[in-house]
């Protein structure tokens, strides 16, 4: 067992699992704290939790239970995976979970590395960027649950984390892994518990992975997994398909989009002219979630024989979100939408849908929880950070896309990868 990952949501779990597979590691992903041991051939375990915005005590409890399992199966390196845009608030869960894991592992220093350069998430002088924009200038500032209105990681950590923060700025990183390792030791000797690491390129991830090779706990977005795999595979020729456990097959499918990120808005807008689509209506969800779910499910099943899967979406622009807030006041629209999505998934599974493509961490968490699958095989990547998943004990297959990830034509691309020959086999 090479590495164990605790991910704070389902899209994040499938995101990092895909990078581990691309790095040649045979990987299994569990939905929630596992109850069964992985197969002997498995080299990496990813545990997907839904702890990004739940109560702090619940988040820490589930993370520690996951850690106990990872230690039981022999993981010597633990990776706490959170979003590459550090989705959280001053009262958020990232800090308490990191501190709980550090205490349980008996370590006094870890790194904060949310970067994923391949998807435009970088850190420079301790500031988090989304593409060429500061995080606070990106569409993430409009996030309905965790609006990101600061870009300095040290300030985002205030109020959450128990200790003080040191930094490894890019001039040190540019000197190589030995310099980074030495700087980490100086940060430790200075009494800091966390080191925020600048990262501008994928090559920087290799440097960080080499410098932290002996570190028992690392934390960040999924990008560092690329560097860790490169370090583990020194001197080996690895094909991106080496770790893929299956080829996705053509099956009755649905797309459910709940994310309101700018990228998902663009993906939904691109897909709507190509395939049947319907909005999950807020008013109907608040008034009668069961009836609305039944109506939408019947519509999906009636439109599932075409070349492209039907789309259900609750995706909105920032302006539409603001209008929704004015219209519905303090009504818990998000919970009502999640309830409708859960009921839809039940109905569609009973109706024969066996492929679920979802967009958004919360939405994907609802889909995964409703399907009640314990473990997934990891298939090929659709786009960086998004892979195909297949239930370990059934033909059901899924893709859980983080709101900000994927190309504009992601929904088409995912379906184009499905093979009739794989289904017939």
249-276, pLDDT tens digit by residue?
999 999 999 988 889 999 999 999 999 9
Domains in the chain: boundaries:
3-232, 253-424
Mean per-residue pLDDT over the chain, rounded: 91
- Look at residue 330 in the predicted model and tell me its pLDDT: 60
The most confident of the ranges 12-16, 238-242, 315-319 is 12-16
Q: Give this prediction's pTM.
A: 0.77
Q: Among 225, 83, 209, 205, which Cα is nearest to 156's?
A: 83
396 pLDDT more than 80:
yes
Q: Give percent above pLDDT 90 in the chain.
A: 64
Q: How far apart are CA 285 and CA 299, in angstroms?
A: 16
Q: How far apart are CA 389 and CA 339, in angstroms?
A: 23
Structure letter (DSSP) for residue 417: T
Q: How far is CA 214 from the centre of its chain?
A: 25
The string of pLDDT tens digits covering residues 47-87 is 999 898 889 999 999 999 999 999 999 999 999 999 877 76
- Look at residue 85 in the predicted model and tell me its pLDDT: 73
Which pLDDT band holds residue 88 (cuts at 50, 70, 90)? low
The string of pLDDT tens digits covering residues 128-137 is 998 888 888 8
Which pLDDT band holds residue 424 (cuts at 50, 70, 90)? low
Mean pLDDT of 85-98: 80
User: Of 143 and 403, which is predicted with more confidence?
Assistant: 403
The answer to whether 15 touches 222, Cβ cutoff 8 Å, is yes
| 253-424: CATH number | 3.40.980.20
- Look at residue 416 in the predicted model and tell me its pLDDT: 96
Mean pLDDT of 116-130: 93
The string of pLDDT tens digits covering residues 198-256 is 999 999 999 999 999 999 999 999 999 999 999 998 877 776 566 777 889 999 999 99
Assess whether the region 3-232 and the region 253-424 belong to the same CATH fold.
Answer: no
The answer to whether 97 touches 51, Cβ cutoff 8 Å, is yes
| 3-232: CATH number | 3.40.50.10840
425 pLDDT more than 60:
no
Token digits of residue 304: 């599932």
Q: How far apart are CA 235 and CA 385, in angstroms?
A: 25
State the greatest distance between any 2 C-alpha atoms of the chain, in Å, as a whole number: 64
The most confident of the ranges 18-22, 333-337, 376-380, 415-419 is 415-419
340 pLDDT more than 80:
yes
Mean pLDDT of 177-198: 98
Q: How far apart are CA 368 and CA 385, in angstroms?
A: 17
Q: How far apart are CA 8 and CA 275, in angstroms?
A: 32
Tell me phi and psi for residue 183, to 5 degrees.
-65, -35
- Look at residue 240 in the predicted model and tell me its pLDDT: 59
């Amino acid at each position: 067992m090479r590495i164990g990952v605790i991910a704070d949501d389902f899209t994040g779990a499938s995101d990092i699992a895909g990078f581990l597979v691309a790095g040649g590691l045979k990987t299994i992903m569990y939905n929630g704290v596992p109850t069964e041991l992985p197969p002997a051939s498995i080299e990496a375990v990813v545990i997907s939790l839904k702890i990004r915005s739940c109560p702090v005590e619940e988040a820490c409890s589930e993370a520690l239970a996951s850690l106990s399992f990872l230690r039981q199966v022999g993981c010597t390196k633990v990776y706490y995976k959170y979003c590459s845009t550090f989705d959280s608030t001053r009262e958020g869960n990232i800090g308490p979970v990191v501190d709980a894991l550090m205490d349980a592992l008996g370590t006094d220093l870890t790194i904060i590395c949310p970067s994923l350069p391949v998807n435009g998430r970088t850190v420079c002088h301790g500031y988090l960027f989304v593409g060429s924009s500061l995080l606070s200038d990106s569409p993430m500032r409009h996030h309905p649950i965790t609006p990101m209105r600061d870009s300095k990681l040290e300030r985002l950590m205030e109020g959450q984390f128990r200790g003080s923060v040191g930094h490894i700025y890019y001039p040190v990183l540019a000197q190589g892994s030995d310099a980074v390792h030495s700087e980490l030791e100086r940060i430790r000797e200075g009494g800091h518990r966390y080191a925020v690491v600048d990262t501008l390129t994928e090559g920087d991830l290799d440097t960080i992975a080499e410098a932290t090779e002996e570190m028992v706990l690392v934390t960040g977005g999924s990008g560092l997994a690329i560097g860790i795999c490169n370090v583990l595979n020194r001197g080996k020729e690895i094909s991106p398909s080496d770790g893929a456990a299956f080829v996705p097959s053509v099956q009755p499918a649905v797309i459910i989009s709940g994310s309101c990120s700018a990228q998902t808005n663009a993906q939904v807008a691109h897909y709507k002219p190509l395939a049947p689509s319907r909005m999950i209506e807020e008013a109907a969800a608040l008034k009668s979630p069961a009836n609305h779910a039944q109506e939408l499910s019947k519509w999906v099943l009636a439109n599932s024989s075409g070349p492209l899967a039907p789309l259900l979406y609750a995706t909105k622009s920032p302006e539409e979100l603001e209008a929704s807030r004015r219209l519905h006041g303090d009504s818990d629209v998000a919970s009502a939408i999640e309830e409708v999505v859960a009921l839809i998934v039940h109905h569609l599974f009973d109706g024969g849908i066996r492929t679920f493509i979802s967009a958004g961490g919360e939405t994907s968490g609802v889909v995964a929880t409703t399907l009640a699958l314990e473990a997934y095989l990891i298939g090929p990547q659709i786009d960086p950070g998004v892979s195909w998943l297949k239930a370990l004990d059934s033909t059901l297959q899924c893709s859980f896309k983080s709101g900000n990830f994927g190309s504009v034509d992601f929904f088409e691309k995912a379906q184009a990868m499905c093979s009739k020959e794989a289904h017939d086999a």
